Amino acid sequence: GKNSRYLRGDATIPADLARVLAEAPGRVAIYFALPPAVTILACTALATLDLPKGLLLALEKPFGTDLTTAKALNRRLQKMLPEQQLFRVDHFLGKSTVLNLLGLRFANRIFEPLFSAPNIERVEITFDENLALEGRAGYYDRAGALVDMIQSHLLLVLALVAMEPPASVDSEDLRGGMAQVLRATRPWKRNGTSSRRARYGAGTIDGKRLPAYVDEKGVEPAAGTETLAEVTLAIDNWRWAGVPFVLRSGKALGEARQEILVVFREVPHLPTGLRGIAGPSCLRISLKPATLDLDLVINGEGDPFTLDRTVLHTDLGAGELSAYGEVLSSLLESDPTLSVRGDVAEECWRIVSPILAAWRKDAVALETYAAGSDGPNSWGRS
Ligand code: BG6
């Protein structure tokens, strides 16, 4: 509109940043949507300037390129601005389905008392996409599925699934609760080998032929970048000890399954004489489409002593704002609740570090799947 101006400059050059700041009246928000290595340089340049009072600084994920760079970036940022003025953007925190976890868990009596190791066998958080590379090799080939999706987005979802009930949803309580549970989270096998990785080969999605990942423009085949990652994590606290949390995300898959699946344990004793399908109950929160399913075992139709399964299903309403809209609106209100706190960003890197190290050493094989399939044949999914 007529109130916007377009300036061109290099965000890593202090004079260029100073020029942008000089043109911005009122309270200023700077938003760096840059590759992490460039963000680090841009922050270094910004640190040399006199910053306007109340400046808000937003940074797109990934935050740093590993634990060391994330720590260094945090130290630099924390010297420049108070934490309340820093917005480490992660749009999953703005997804209404993700935020729904708070209402579902903490505004009902029926789930929260059951959300713990004695009642829950495992939790799966899956974000499979039909989308392939979409011309993003420059970024994605250096990140891969583990860093692009699990290190950031899915660990935050895990935090909301597993955190202790907060006293309020203000930024201190909510982000403090998320940080606490992430501090207790680690790879199931400490050496990072409770993980799998794969890369897509040529295939077909929705009738469209897709080339193999390694044949996409800009991909360096020798980099061994995975396009599908799965990790099993443990949470070392009283509530979750012994419960595996399986996080998985991949590109170019046949089915875009994007959900949180909570699998309850089998009953301690099924009354003798009840026949048919037993199997555990599960709660399924689908992020896209936004739905909620509770799978229960009931007495089936016909013979009342034969068990069957039924599903209580509801559609979850769309949020008023898109996920990014939600995050941007909290930025404009200078409310950091939906931004990733500095220590949380570091914890997320700490959790995946042993896995990245195991992959670098080839302790976990890089497998292959056909684009449009459900992943490598050997993986099999429940
Ligand atoms: C982004 C990832 O952060 O999230 C993409 O970089 C991914 O690779 C995207 O496709 C998924 O989120 P959404 O909300 O667009 O489905």
Full DSSP string of 100-145: HHHHHHHS-TTTGGG-STTTEEEEEEEEE-S---TT-HHHHHHHHH
pLDDT along the chain (382 residues), means of 10: 89 96 92 91 95 95 94 94 95 92 95 96 98 92 96 97 97 97 98 98 95 96 97 98 98 97 94 85 95 92 88 91 94 93 98 98 97 94 54
Looking at the whole model, is its pTM more than 0.85?
yes
Phi first, then psi, for residue 159 (nearest 5°) are -60, -40
**Residue 343 burial (10 A CB sphere; 0-12, 13-18, 19+):** middle
Both tokens of 30, joined, read: 């700077």
> Does residue 269 carry a catalytic annotation?
no
Sign of CA dihedral 376, 377, 379, 382: positive
72-117 pLDDT, tens digit per residue, is: 999 999 999 999 999 999 999 999 999 999 999 999 999 999 999 9
Apex CA 80: angle with CA 76 and CA 4, to 5°? 115
DSSP string, 211-251: --GGGSTT--GGG---SEEEEEEEE-STTTTT--EEEEEES
Distance 136 CA to ligand 1 centre (A): 12
Give the position, in ligand 1's atom list, of the atom nearest the Cα of 136: 8
**Residue 148, ligand 1, Cβ within 6 A:** yes
What is each CA distance from 339 to 29, 99, 268, 336, in whole angstroms?
14, 13, 42, 5
| Angle of the 342-360 helix axis to the 67-80 helix axis, nearest 10 | 160
Ligand 1 pocket test target in 61, 91, 327 with most atoms within 8 Å of CB: 91
Place of tokens 């500095």: 342
Pick the atom of ligand 1 nearest to 148's CA.
6
Cα 297 from chain centre? 31
Joined tokens for residue 151: 């290190």
pLDDT of residue 262: 98
Best residue for ligand 1 mutational test, from 60, 88, 129 (most atoms within 8 Å of Cβ): 129
pLDDT at 382: 46
For position 381, what pLDDT does the model report? 61
Q: Measured from the CB, is residue 129 less than 6 Å from ligand 1? A: yes
Contact criterion met (CB below 8 Å) for 23 and 9: no
- Report which protein residue has its CA nearest ligand 1's atom 7: 149
pLDDT, tens only, 299-326: 878 888 899 999 999 999 888 999 999 9
pLDDT value for 318: 82
